Amino acid sequence: MPALFGGGESPWAEGVPYGSLGVTVLSVLVFLPLYFINFRLSGVRMVLCVLLIASLGYLLLPYNGFSNTYVIFAVAAAAFIHASLWHRLSLVCLMLATFLLEILWLGLPVFIFGITVIIALAVFFGSHYQIEHQRKSAALKLSHDEVRRLAALAERERIGRDLHDLLGHTLSLIALKSELAGKLFERDAGAARREIDDVTRVARDALSQVRHAVTGIRAAGLSTELAAARQLLESAGVSFSYALADVELTTEQETALSLVVREAVTNIQRHARATKARVELVALREQLQLRIEDDGNGGDLRAGNGLTGIRERVNALDGQFRIDSSRSTGTRLDILLPLVEQSLPVNVPRVHHLMAPR
């Protein structure tokens, strides 16, 4: 220990105890169980354990000036107590004030206290902000999942209403006309044939409407994912807009595009530091194009940021995946999928502008 202070000649070392190896080893044997037990406790028991760790520092100080290490550990552990920040800071101030009073009582150099305060508070606030970040991330994930659940519930209710209104009326009309055709068959074959033709026409119309409803069900996954993307990006202060062409997607395409949007939006929230983001789905001559872009920092992108998964999903559907990223313009992802015969645009895209509160 004298070597740390230049062989005892440094003025900083004057009056600092550094001997008593046996007492120091004994304190370590007491400290280690307290340290590991502390993270399994909560409430008053955790507070008592923190105070015991600090007490080790107080008891060892007359024998070893480096006992402030225990006080620093105690302050760091106080950050994990389930209480308000002010209550935890009050406990920290109590422990540090007790340490200062003991230093003054023993006549030790005050610089020991100064070093202890700087390190202890740095560790305390670092741990505090890490805990707060984890808590907010967990709350955001719960909110994200809740948005998906509510969107799925609303979509199921809409599908139920649509099918009830569609099939209830259509099946009643088919039953009525079929019954009428049966009664007219022997008296007026021409009228009966006309009723049968009406039944055929109504059935075909119903089939077309059911197909349209199924298209809405398949697109619900993408709509749900976009609603979740809005929630996620708003929480990060990113303004978000999207435009979706009214096209029919196969189940595989809709699932793949939903997962691509989820992965890309997560990357924007975690890595891009963007202020704006946009998702756009358009129908070209022979292809569907999904474009996801942001104005973030761009630059070199590592395959580990979900890009490998996106590429694999696109390749599985015989699609193409392109990425353009630069630090000046941000990042743009283009996904091109084959346009199946029924995937024709019904009308112009619907554009939604969703601005996050600044």
Q: Which residue has the higher pLDDT, 247 or 337?
A: 337
Spatial distance between the Cα atoms of 264 and 217, rounded to a whole number of angstroms: 23
Going by their DSSP bridges, the two strands 287-294 and 330-338 should be labelled as antiparallel
pLDDT at position 165: 66
- pLDDT for the residue 17: 57
Convert the pLDDT of each residue in 134-187 to its tens digit. Answer: 777 777 766 666 666 776 677 677 667 766 666 666 777 777 777 777 777 777
Mean pLDDT of the chain: 77
349 phi and psi, to 5 degrees? -60, 150
Alpha-carbon gap, residue 198 to 177, rounded angstroms: 8
- In percent, the amount of the chain with pLDDT more than 90 equals 9
Residue 353, pLDDT above cutoff 50? no
For residue 304, the model assigns a pLDDT of: 58
pLDDT digits (tens, 9 = 90+) for 214-248: 655 555 578 778 887 887 787 778 888 888 887 77
Each residue's pLDDT tens digit, 87-143: 888 999 999 999 999 888 988 888 888 888 999 899 899 888 888 887 777 777 666
Residue ranges of domains in the chain: 2-109, 236-358
Interatomic CA distance for residues 245 and 252, integer angstroms = 17
Question: Which CATH architecture group holds 236-358?
Answer: 2-Layer Sandwich (3.30)
